[in-house]
Structure formats: structure tokens, C-alpha cells
Structure 1
Amino acid sequence: MKNRCFWVTKDPLYVEYHDNEWGVPVYDDDTLFEFLILETFQAGLSWITILKKRENFRKAFDNFNYQKIANYTEDKFETLLQDAGIIRNKLKIKATISNAQAFIKVQEEFGSFSKYIWAFVDGKPIQNNFVNREDVPATTPLSDKISKDLKKRGFKFVGSTVVYAHMQATGMVNDHTTNCFRYNECN
């Protein structure tokens, strides 16, 4: 039996996500945007809730196409509010639209969102050596800094906890615990 991080339940969706996605460095703007949106909707909820609705989010938000999302009309917004397959939070849906617009502006300024976000860690993952649950932070001074910068650029629902979760998910930090079989694979 494989040792996994403390937060992984027996749910096959969680196991699959942990074993194949979480903590793997992502440099692709499309995937970075998807995770940003999912993390935004996760604020205040459990990650498994989001994972279970991921395909619904994908359908509802045009496969996370930020070019399309940035141009959503009021009608599309109202349609999303009625979509029982996603989290129907008015502020988070509005934030998704404005975040798509801010995302495009960052791409225009830096050439890609990836160049912008990865510059905070000099282009390579921070390798942490956490042993147990208590060691893993919810925020760091770096996630505080990134959060502040994103907000300055017009992003919403990007508090330090959301940003740190995004950093973990996209491999900007390796927060697999040292006893997890993925720790060395993501190192």
C-alpha cells in the first residue's frame, strides 16, 4: 500500500487527483487558469466538493476558456446562476469573469500568466520537507505577496490561502509530505 499525504481520503477521485496532478509543476496558461478558477470556487468549501463538480465546471465555463469567459454577458451570468452542477455563488461567478479579464491583462504584460506567476519562485518549485499535517502551512509570506499583487491587478477571491492552495496544486511548492510516495517524484 502506498503512503499518501494526510489529506487524501479513500475516494478514488481524490486518490487520482493526488497521485497524478497535485504538486506537479504546471507551466501551461490554460491549466493555471483552470486551477485558479477551481481554487476560487473552493474558498470556504472542501476540495473534494470541487473535484466532484469539476466536469460540470468545465462544461459550464466553456472548458475554462478565459477568452470566452472574459466576454460573458449578463445572460450567460444568469444561466450560470441557475446551473445546479456548479457552485452557484454570485460573487464567485462574477469573480471568475473579472479574473479572466485580469488574466488576459497579465498575459499581455508578461507574455504569459505562467511567466508572471512562476517569476515569484524563480521559475522552479520550492521544495519543502514537511513531515506531518501540522507542518504544512495554509499561507506563507510568499503567498501573501502574490495575493497582494494579484489583487492589485484586479483579481478577486485570491486571498493568501487560495493563492497558497494554487501554489500547491500547480507545483510551485512541493508540499507532499516526506513520507508520501509522490514527494520524491515531485522533487
Structure 2
Amino acid sequence: MERCGWVGSEEIYRDYHDTEWGVPERDGRALWEKLILDGFQAGLSWITILKKREAFRAAFEGFDPQVIATWGEAEVTRLLGDPGIVRHRGKIEATIGNARAYLEIEDFSAWCWAYVDGTPLQNRPATLADVPALTPVSVRMSKDLKAAGFKFCGPTIVYAWMQATGMVNDHVLTCHRHDTVAGLK
């Protein structure tokens, strides 16, 4: 079975690719969680975040923005001492601010999906070299997220998040998931 070339040999990576990556996510809270995790990935590999995802979920109260938005220095200090997550003060503080920004948007899912007119963009990359790191859409969305108060959401992070959440289908044409994901709306 052929997969996208970025998938490593570890089962957790294969499972993520085969069941989650590129599948359209419509739940606003889940979209927010994935944006936060993509922000934590900045400067690291995705497998690092994927292996720590359950620890992140535990440390961040299931990524409940209503809870996280109330946090302050005591929670930042607690998280900086948690070896199960990426301990980066700026990313932790950004998550708290991003929770507050998320709560200001009435319907985060609708807000995000509006950038692709509610329908996943269907790319047809022949190879990984054909997959961009960012696009005009991710640049615009990144700018608007920042204007809404979000941090750690540059255009490259936003594009990776768009791929992960199915706003764009960037499975390569030879990948066994390309056509299946293309059929998901």
C-alpha cells in the first residue's frame, strides 16, 4: 500500500495518515485543538507532537478553550514542568491567548471553512515536491487569525493545519488515501 512520502515507518504515523490526515474536520473545538498542536510543532517534527498528543490533551484539559482562557501564570508554570508536552513558554502562553481569541469567534468552524468556500480544495500533487509549504489562502487566513488575536499561526503552520484538517487534500496521487479523501466533503 503506497502512502505519502512524509509518512515514517512508525505505526502511530501510519495510523494518523491513514485515518485522520486530510479528513475534513468540521468541529470547531477539534479544529482549534489541531491548530494549537500545529503551533506547538513549529521547529519540531510532527511525529514528536503526535507522540505527545495524549499528554497535551491531559495537560490542556482536553483542549477546552473555556477552561484554558481562564488560565494565568500558575498554569503556565505547571505546564512548563510537564515533561509530557513541549515546554515552551511562548507556545503555552499563546495557547491561552488563542483560547480567548477562539471564544471571540462565534462559529470557529464556519469561520475557518469560509476560506475554502466550505468545500475541501482538491489538489493533485504527483510528488511531495508538488506540495506547497503555503498558499495565498493560508497567507490570508494566517493574517486574519493574527488580527483576531491568535499567535503561532504563520502561513506555513496554517497550511499544514489546513492539510491535516481536510480543508485541502494534498495526498499525492499515488497514495491509497488520495481518492478516498477526495470523496469526503
Query: TM-score, normalised on structure 2?
Result: 0.97
Tell whether 2:174 aligns with 1:179.
yes
1:129 aligns with 2:128: no
Task: Find the aligned partners of 2:27 and 2:13 in 1 and give their Cα distance.
Answer: 22
Deviations 1:103-145, CA, capped at 9 Å, x for gaps: 11012xxxx1000000010000000000101100010111000
Match of 1:96?
95
Once structures 1 and 2 are overlaid, which stretch shifts more, 42-51 or 67-76? 67-76
The aligned residue for residue 114 of structure 1 is: 109
Q: Equivalent residue of 1:137, what SS?
A: coil
For residues 134 and 63 of structure 1, the distance between their equivalents in structure 2, rounded to whole angstroms, comes to 35
Secondary structure (helix, strand or coil) at the match of 2:40 reads helix
2:159 alignment partner, one of 164, 172, 180: 164
Aligned to 2:47: 48
Task: Report sequence identity in percent.
Answer: 55
User: How much has 1:19 moved relative to structure 2?
Assistant: 0.3
Encode CA deviations 1:131-183: one digit per residue, 9 max, x unaligned.
Answer: 10110001011100000000011100100000001100000000000000100
Structure 1 alignment gaps of length 5 or more: none
Count how many residue pairs are aligned between Structure 1 and Structure 2: 182
Shift of 1:30: 1.8
Q: Which runs of 5+ in 2 are unaligned?
A: none
Cα distance in 2 for partners of 1:93, 1:176 equals: 31
What is the CA distance between 1:78 and its match in structure 2? 0.7
Determine the C-alpha separation between the residues in 1 that align with 2:28 and 2:70: 18
Using the alignment, how far apart are the partners of 2:99 and 2:39 within structure 1? 12
C-alpha separation in 2, matches of 1:9 and 1:115: 33
3-state SS of 2:105 partner: helix
Which residue of structure 1 aligns with residue 104 of structure 2?
105
- Once the two structures are superposed, residues 72-102 of structure 1 have per-residue CA deviations (whole angstroms, 9 ceiling, x without a partner) of 1221111001111100000000000000100
Cα distance in 2 for residues equivalent to 1:30 and 1:150: 15
Task: Tell me what 2:24 maps to.
Answer: 25
Q: 4+ residue stretches of structure 1 with deviation over 6 A?
A: none
TM-score by length of 1: 0.96
In the alignment, which residue of structure 1 is the partner of 2:86?
A: 87
Residue matched to 2:33? 34
CA distances 1:47-68 after superposition (whole Å, capped 9, x unpaired): 0000010010000000111110
Is 1:146 the equivalent of 2:145? no
Using the alignment, how far apart are the partners of 1:90 and 1:73 within structure 2? 12
Cα distance in 1 for partners of 2:51, 2:145 equals: 27
